Chain A
């Protein structure tokens, strides 16, 4: 069997607290993601899914466990750039134009001319040709997230990590961006880990949906999405879509309820 693109082995993150039990954010996460797979992670708020993504990316160090990309162990932010990270909010550098933002990960790694071409073609891929010289504040929220995506894709990462990239968008823009992501993904052919709290978004986009438990986050269950690609908005009314959405929702509801009993809001 081929080596998986990403493998997490017993990944745990806890924050030590003086004289107390450490605060466990997530525990013993083991997950394998294969080439070209789109995996979503859903779970109740505060279950540690975003923290896990930051640990995978090397922005945080795990308390224990290992991360492998193509069978090679990752340590912090050392080593080659093999991951593209799409941030939640406005993470574009306001002093750089769209093009320059996309160039950020290419500068010094590719000859300027080639870097420029790559950046332009990725802006084109996300549908932003003609906006190369716009500053982030001149773009709408949806367009900013397109630049964000182009910036992460431009470095040609082995895996794309997306941290609730559409959370700050209004409902219409969000739906539109989900469909755009389907299109872009079908062209870019990347392995993706996608964090969201929106179950329908996870099902629409993914090959596999991973459900996290309440904090400390563990993998509660995994579902393969039984829907053929290419997908469009109509698929949301497919009975298999609706059924899966209900099953996942019930699990998350249970987690939230159980969480409230031990720690009422």
Chain B
């Protein structure tokens, strides 16, 4: 039932898009039907295979950026939650960096790190790290006082309290942070590849836009969307594996 509704939603959206493109806009230099996009996508994947280098380049940037963001964000978030000194020290910088549009950093990162993969990973990293950090921070901060007291009443050591109470209680928050980071990470990929890239989905879209190649442009956008959905689904699977106790809890 739920699956059927999702399918109907997707199909009706595509039909609407098709109708708007062919009946309302009717100008292939502005908008093309999803059928054209699908055909173009098929061609780029299976006939010319020109999509793959772009897909691979973007995927690596995205994965590296996410990975480094998780490796930095989770421990730093924990540290901020557990140590007021760290919190006061990091907070102003975190707020400033989080609220500054990332695109403003792109040129300077490019200047510092060159036009290779490093600068692009850095831009993705900047997008991903904050939702992960903030969620890890709050996850650990809001651990119910009762759970902490349970740990203390059983005389758990500091380390045991962290491993057995604080960490498992924070896992759902960390996973939510990672999910938020997927969207921001993909935005980061697009931004990064608009500046001095020679491959990647962002480059593909940028280039298609410059040359008014609407079908390729939409293929690029669609692949981004699919990557986003894919990332979400993978995290959903990880979430179900990591927190089996939440599964039924939530559907209740």
Contact = CB atoms under 8 A, between A and B. Distances in A.
Interface of A: 57-59, 77, 79-81, 83, 85, 87, 89-91, 93-96, 104-105, 107-108, 135-138, 155
A160 to B, nearest CB: 12
Given A104-B150, A137-B245, 14 more contacts: A57-B153, A77-B152, A79-B155, A85-B153, A87-B150, A87-B153, A91-B147, A93-B165, A96-B168, A96-B245, A104-B154, A107-B160, A108-B160, A137-B249
10 contacts: A58-B152, A58-B153, A59-B149, A91-B147, A94-B246, A95-B171, A104-B154, A105-B155, A107-B164, A135-B244
A91 B154 contact: no
Nearest to B167: A95
B252 interface: yes
A136 to B, nearest CB: 8
Contact of B168 (A85, A89, A95, A108): A95
A138 B244 CA distance: 12
B164 A104 contact: yes
Contacts of B197: none
Contacts of B249: 94, 135, 137
B27 interface: no
Contacts of B243: 95
A229 to B, nearest CB: 28
Contacts, number: 63
Contact of A91 (B150, B155, B164, B252): B150
B248 interface: yes
B162 to A, nearest CB: 14
B67 interface: no
Given A89-B146, A135-B245, A95 B169 contact: yes
Contacts of A93: 147, 150, 164-165, 168-169
A87 B248 contact: no
Interface of A is mostly: loop
Given A91-B147, A104-B164, A80 B155 contact: yes
Nearest to B172: A95
A118 to B, nearest CB: 14
A151 to B, nearest CB: 8
Contacts of B246: 94
Highest count of chain A CB atoms <10 Å: which of B171, B243, B249: B249
Interface in B208-252: 243-246, 248-249, 252
Interface in B159-184: 160, 164-165, 168-169, 171
Which 7 pairs between the two chains have the least Cβ-Cβ distance?
A85-B153, A105-B154, A135-B245, A81-B155, A95-B168, A95-B245, A137-B249
B156 to A, nearest CB: 8
Highest count of chain B CB atoms <10 Å: which of A79, A80, A93, A155: A93
A155 B154 contact: yes
Contact of B146 (A77, A87, A137, A138): A87
Contacts of A104: 150-151, 154, 156, 164
Nearest to B153: A85
Contacts of B156: 104
Nearest to B148: A59
A77 B150 CA distance: 12
B153 A137 contact: no
A94 B153 contact: no
A59 B154 contact: no
Highest count of chain B CB atoms <10 Å: which of A79, A95, A107: A95
